[in-house]
Chains A and B, each alone.
Chain A
């Protein structure tokens, strides 16, 4: 793999993270009043047991962001903090650091999202390929219509319906959460089973509502590939229709499909954040939801930067792996 390509691709990764962090810095500052300061002062005037705590937060906040400093100095300091994943403290749960809260939730989100997306990608790609194959059973074409309709529904709304049907009415699955109430996360087998049991319905709602998207994009790719000369030539040579389908059409259509995976990442993550809210799943989405409700700005901004970082990393990995899969791509850009 040429070092040139790696360097350039890594630069793109840095640009994405930098752009995300920069917008995250300037957007709140465009508002006429500084919302973070307002919120902190409000927490102080609220008084009570947390009063001295909040005064400490205000003091560290003012010192940390140096509001009397010029904007560019504040900005440089902020970028430095982002590089060290230091997002400050949680306002709602005072002594906890925002990065700790987020890092605790991240494995839940990554696990649920990775597994659900891979399952949906595999099923959808297979289905899309079969949809474009003239020899596939007619039954399949009837199946495709409801799946396409499902893909028009946002993940979390399907999740709501599934919780109602499977959790509330039939009572076969839990109503929410990541594990049974009263247990603590521990590395035992029974806990692992419990986690899987709690993840089935959230995962199902992501899979069901994204299969149609993958199927549709794979079908489009297959239509393009099937019009190529090499497919016509393979058919003219009298190769078995199944061989032409798998070895000539599917294999070539599969690769652009991987690119769609990288492009759809942002959409998938946005949807999954809301799925977690519906299921009270202990991931980043639920952390974000609670932070929004308590105006916990440091946690909100921390989640945004962390998720952008995770997505940029995932696309970086996909982009590095992709040319290994497809010899036609010669690491140009």
Chain B
């Protein structure tokens, strides 16, 4: 088999390809941008306040004298970092719990499923609000990620549990069991490899959900106050009523970047879903 060309991949998996391109551009934006723009300009008071976009400040400046292009270049990777850490931690916990619940069943399954169901009914944002307001120290980007991760495990737990449940009785698992493999070996050698597409799709959704939760918290003013993440930029824009003052160049760039992140992740997860779940192929 020859390696598939990019063109062939784009034709076969248009959503996945488009999503991956968008995500790549967003991820590359920070590192590439910092080569051309001095990210120190994202600090408060580094430029004149409230100037509209100009040659010197391509995206203008905000009320506290931050250069908004520098803010975007410094902030996008921070928001992505929160999303990736929280998504990875959430998926890790979720996979572990999902495997335990689905594979072993019994009372531990009832317990895990019950906890996930109850926590899913409750709006996560409100819990995160309680958690974030209880933390006395200034929140850092990594703390933010862990706060968000604390509620990012329920959906992975449920989806992986139901997958494991249906795979547990599959023929090849029975064969493996009959040939004397232990539980851990079956999980590691038979179940995990088959779940990889699902895990990839779950990871992408978990990152998206984590970015969404972190921006929601930040928009309420509960984020890292000293870091120019996308959500904090929106918070400051709301706080200084940029909307009513017509300072569109303050709130528009973070929104566009957030939309790009969500649309990119959404397309990737839809594409991965089509690979993991061939039944979806029926629909155009």
A78 to B135: give the CA distance in the assembly, Å.
21
Chain A's nearest CB lies how many Å from the CB of B232? 14
| A288 contacts B121, C-beta separation under 8 Å | no
B interface residues, how many (CB within 8 angstroms): 44
Q: Are B212 and A15 touching (Cβ within 8 A)?
A: no
Q: Which of B219, B246, B258, B279 has the most CB of A within 10 A?
A: B219
Q: What residues on A are CB-neighbors of B248 within 8 Å?
A: 164
Using known A-B contacts A32-B136, A154-B212, A156-B219, determine if residue A223 contacts B282 with beta carbons closer than 8 Å.
Answer: yes
By a CB distance below 8 angstroms, the chain B residues around A24 are 130
User: B259 and A273: CB pair below 8 A?
Assistant: no
**B222 part of interface (Cβ distance < 8 Å):** yes
Nearest-CB distance from A281 to chain B (Å)? 14
> When the two chains form their complex, are residues B135 and A31 in contact, meaning their CB atoms are under 8 A apart?
yes
Task: For A304, give its contact among B126, B222, B234, B284 (CB under 8 Å).
Answer: B126
Does B28 sit within 8 A of A, measured CB to CB? Answer: no
Given that A152-B263, A153-B259 are contacting pairs, would A132 and B243 also be in contact in the complex, using a CB cutoff of 8 Å?
Answer: no
Residue of A nearest to B266 (CB): A152
In the bound assembly, the distance between CA atoms of A161 and B212 in angstroms comes to 17
Are the CB atoms of A16 and B133 closer together than 8 Å? no
- A270–B283 touching, CB < 8 Å: no
Q: When chains A and B are docked, how far (Å) is the Cα of A105 from the Cα of B122?
A: 20
Asked whether any CB of chain B lies closer than 8 Å to the CB of A234, the reply is no
Residue A219 interfacial (CB < 8 Å) = yes
Residues A292 and B220 in contact, CB atoms below 8 Å apart: yes
Taking CB as reference atom, which chain B residue is nearest A131? Answer: B283
Task: State whether the Cβ of B120 lies closer than 8 Å to any Cβ in chain A.
Answer: yes
Total A residues in contact with B, Cβ cutoff 8 Å: 62
* Option from B127, B133, B255 in Cβ contact (under 8 Å) with A157: B255
Note all chain B residues with C-beta closer than 8 A to A168. Answer: 243-244, 246
In the complex, what residues of B have CB within 8 A of residue A154's CB? Answer: 212, 215-216, 258, 262
**Binding site secondary structure of chain B:** helix
B255 touches A160 (CB 8 A): yes
Chain B residues positioned under 8 Å from A31 (CB to CB): 134-136
Check B238–A278 contact: CB distance below 8 A.
Answer: yes
- Say whether A35 faces chain B, with CB atoms less than 8 Å apart: yes
Q: Determine the distance from Cα of A15 to Cα of B133 in the docked complex, in whole angstroms.
A: 24
Determine the distance from Cα of A156 to Cα of B238 in the docked complex, in whole angstroms.
11
* Among A152, A154, A303: residue with most chain B CB under 10 A: A152
A19:B120 contact, CB within 8 angstroms: no
Among the 9-residue stretches A2-10, A45-53, A242-250, A307-315, the one with 4 or more Cβ atoms under 8 Å from chain B is A307-315
Q: Which of B211-266 contact A (CB under 8 A)?
A: 212, 215-216, 219-222, 234, 238, 243-244, 246, 248, 251, 255, 258-259, 262-263, 265-266
Q: A152-B263, A153-B259, A223-B280 are in contact. Are A288 and B123 (CB under 8 A)?
A: no
Binding site for A on B (CB under 8 A): 114, 118-127, 129-131, 133-136, 212, 215-216, 219-222, 234, 238, 243-244, 246, 248, 251, 255, 258-259, 262-263, 265-266, 279-280, 282-284
Some 25 contacts from A to B, beta carbons below 8 A apart, are A19-B119, A23-B127, A27-B127, A27-B130, A31-B134, A33-B136, A152-B259, A154-B262, A157-B234, A157-B258, A161-B255, A224-B279, A227-B279, A227-B282, A265-B121, A266-B121, A270-B125, A270-B126, A271-B216, A277-B219, A288-B220, A289-B221, A295-B133, A300-B129, A311-B123
**Which 6 A-B residue pairs are closest in the complex by CB-CB distance?**
A270-B125, A152-B262, A266-B123, A28-B134, A270-B123, A152-B266
Interface of A toward B, CB cutoff 8 Å: 15-16, 19-20, 23-24, 27-28, 30-33, 35, 38, 131-132, 141, 148-149, 151-154, 156-157, 160-161, 163-164, 168, 175, 219-220, 223-224, 227, 263, 265-267, 269-271, 273-274, 277-278, 288-289, 292-293, 295, 297, 300-301, 303-304, 307-308, 311-312, 315
